[in-house]
Amino acid sequence: MASPLRQIFAFSGVLDSGAGKKGSYALVEHAVALAARAKPTRATPDRATPDGAPPDRAGQDLVLVEGGSVVNLMAVWRAHGLPGILRRCWAAGVVLAGVSAGSLCWHVGGPTDSFSDRLDPFTGGLGLLPYSNGVHDDFPGQRRREVYRAMVAQGVLPGGQATEGGTGLHYEGTTLHEAVSIRPGKRAWPVGPGPGGSYTDEPIEPRAI
């Protein structure tokens, strides 16, 4: 019997006011489509599943995590034993997905403003994906693009992937299967350390969805 396909869909939502009525929901719909059955479950700090049962006992096919403070999210998850449950879900074929903090959480970490108004490195993610993650890479309100690349160049964060608004990363196992986007011209960026404290980044043109 073949092992279940382990899938993670990590994405940056659309933050600007011109996103339209659906906003980032097309990315949520894509996450649902990746699941074997379309039963999305929103994981929140006080309620992991609709009936309070651990995800690996509730029979759902998707765990969807919204944005917010990734630091607070991980602290609550660890206090309630969720990391092991989510790892078992993933191994069982449940699709893990999320936006912003819900994208960072599956990785080693990435830049966050959870600690203060500035962007600081966060390395307390679940690490199911052994990479860093830079969300909202093109957000004009913060220097996320520059800060993320500097953290990778300095070895503060491992190499990883950055996503611009409306763009998501679909992993099968720990391998990037494809990048997708709901907005024309938006990209994903593999970012790695370069020689002499520099960095490398090369854009990926995502598939439009």
Q: Which residue has the tokens 């759902």?
A: 60
Q: Is 28 exposed, middle or buried (0-12, 13-18, 19+ CB in 10 A)?
A: buried
Annotated active-site residue 136? The verdict is yes
CA 181 to CA 187: how far, in whole Å?
A: 8
Q: Which amino acid is at 201?
A: D
**Cβ(111)–Cβ(138) under 8 Å?**
no
The active-site residue out of 12, 100, 103, 132 is: 100
What Cα–Cα distance (Å) separates residue 192 from each residue in 113, 155, 156, 158, 164?
A: 22, 10, 12, 7, 17
Active site residue 80: no
- Closest-CA residue to 127 (of 115, 110, 150): 110
Active-site annotation holder among 132, 136, 170, 181: 136
Give the separation between CA 12 and CA 99, rounded to whole angstroms.
5
Nearest one of 124, 147, 135 to 100, comparing CA atoms: 135
Any bridge partners for residue 44, and if so which?
47
Contacts of 89 (CB under 8 A, 6+ apart): 55, 56, 63, 96
Tokens, residue 72 = 């607070």
Catalytic residues: 100, 136
